Amino acid sequence: MTLFNQYYPPNSTAFNGLVNDQVKSALDEDIGTGDLTALLVPASQVVTATIIVRETAIICGIPWVNACFNQVDAHVKINWQVAEGERAQANQVLCEISGPARSLLTSERCALNFLQTLSATATETSKYVGAITGTQAQILDTRKTIPNWRLAQKYAVTVGGGYNQRLALYDGILIKENHIAAAGSIGAVMAQAFALNSGKTIQIEVENLQQLQEALEAGATSILLDNFSTALLCEAVNLNKQSGKRAVLEASGGITLENVREIALTGIDRISIGSITKNIQAIDLSMRVKTLAR
């Protein structure tokens, strides 16, 4: 089970509350005091519309799309032709929507924003997951997310087959170079982390093999290897084995689709990648309306 699902199990009150809150905020931002352009359409006009994907993608964000239309108008009906997490092909119809024209037009942009962005994260994640098939490594996200979209993007990573590194600062301790510098040493900062008795995971980032050895000696059980070359990752894995496999090792920094498999084959346990949430290209989607009788 991913961290996201521990906090927000699918279809739970927590999950539905998260979706509804994010959608309300997005609609408030977009509509404000009212959709002036929608007033150009007769109030009695009823239409159907389809959402079409223009490129191959892992579809993610269906709960957010449903909430966008339903919060604007509970009478809108949506018939999905794909499931959450399903791979869709270019020019495939994803769903058919019917209801008052004004409601569909007012909801359109927010719904597509969620769908194109979350599908992008899920699709990019799935590429990395596919690239390391057959290795022991897992693909993880980072905190490099779109502001206020953190949890939605963390969810999208799981839909794409990845895992969550941690949801936020409250969800685990990650000791980086500035924490080490402020505390004085790896041993000192690790001792302080253990003394918190937070009940959360404690991970420390190291930049070379000497720091890795210090972290292992300080009792670290989760270590982030920052910008290690492939050769150094192999040495780090061997060093960890010599110490009795004390720690879960995670590679981070400079990871691309071109080198991720090579990194995974070093025997590393986890690979965290910021680009799956911060360097994404929105999936090309469009909504097309067909007019029905008034």
Residues 199-234 pLDDT 10s: 999 999 999 999 999 999 999 999 999 999 999 999
- Are residues 201 and 117 part of one domain? no
Find all residues with CB under 8 Å of 155, minimum gap 6, and list them.
Answer: 4, 8, 60, 118
Task: State the alpha helices, DSSP H only, in the chain.
Answer: 3-7, 13-31, 62-72, 101-131, 150-159, 177-183, 186-195, 209-217, 230-242, 260-264, 275-278
- Are residues 163 and 230 part of one domain? yes
Structure tokens at 211: 């720091």
**Each residue of 145-204: pLDDT tens digit?**
999 999 999 999 999 999 999 999 999 999 999 999 999 999 999 999 999 999 999 999
- Are residues 168 and 52 part of one domain? no
Higher pLDDT, 37 or 2: 37
Burial 241-259 (b: 16+ CB within 10 A, else e): eeeeebbbbbbbeebeeee
Q: How confident is the model at residue 67 (pLDDT cuts 50, 70, 90)?
A: very high
- Are residues 145 and 33 part of one domain? no
- Are residues 274 and 149 part of one domain? yes
Contacts of 26-32 with CB under 8 Å at 24 or more apart are 26/68, 26/110, 26/113, 26/114, 27/68, 27/71, 27/72, 27/107, 27/110, 30/109, 30/110, 31/106
Structure tokens at 209: 């093999």
Name 98's bridge partners: 48, 77
- Are residues 108 and 167 part of one domain? no
Q: Identify the three-state secondary structure at position 58.
A: strand
Averaged pLDDT of the chain = 95
| pLDDT beyond 80 at 135 | yes
Active-site residues, by number, are: 109, 144, 176, 205, 226
- Are residues 158 and 115 part of one domain? no
Residue 59 CA to its chain's centroid (Å) = 13
pLDDT reported for residue 249: 97
Q: Average pLDDT for residues 63-91, to the nearest whole number?
A: 97
**Cα end-to-end span (Å), the chain:** 49
pLDDT reported for residue 290: 85
Percent of the chain with pLDDT over 70: 99
CATH number at residue 68: 3.90.1170.20
- Are residues 138 and 228 part of one domain? yes
Q: What does pTM read for this prediction? A: 0.94
| pLDDT beyond 80 at 117 | yes
- Are residues 249 and 185 part of one domain? yes
pLDDT reported for residue 2: 81
Q: How far apart are CA 110 and CA 23, in angstroms?
A: 8
pLDDT reported for residue 262: 98
Structure tokens at 113: 């924003």
| pLDDT beyond 90 at 106 | yes
Domain of residue 71: give its range: 3-129+280-291
CATH number at residue 263: 3.20.20.70
Total number of domains in the chain:
2
- Are residues 125 and 76 part of one domain? yes
